[in-house]
Chain A
Amino acid sequence: DQQVKQNSPSLSVQEGRISILNCDYTNSMFDYFLWYKKYPAEGPTFLISISSIKDKNEDGRFTVFLNKSAKHLSLHIVPSQPGDSAVYFCAASPQSTSYGKLTFGQGTILTVHP
Chain B
Amino acid sequence: DVKVTQSSRYLVKRTGEKVFLECVQDMDHENMFWYRQDPGLGLRLIYFSYDVKMKEKGDIPEGYSVSREKKERFSLILESASTNQTSMYLCASSNSGQGSEKLFFGSGTQLSVL
Chain A positions within 8 Å of B, measured between CB atoms, are 4, 6, 9, 32, 34, 36, 41-46, 49, 89, 91, 93, 97-107
Contacts and interface: CB of A to CB of B under 8 A. Distances in A.
B102 A46 contact: yes
Interface of B: 4, 31, 33, 35, 40-45, 48, 50, 56, 58-59, 90, 92, 94-98, 100-108
Nearest to B9: A41
A105 B96 contact: no
A42 B107 contact: yes
Nearest to B90: A43
Contacts of A104: 35, 42-44
Given A99-B31, A105-B42, A43 B102 contact: no
Contact of B100 (A36, A42, A100): A100
A106 B33 CA distance: 18
Which 10 residue pairs of A and B lie closest in terms of their CB atoms, listed nearest first?
A: A43-B105, A100-B100, A100-B94, A104-B43, A106-B42, A104-B42, A99-B50, A93-B101, A100-B101, A46-B102
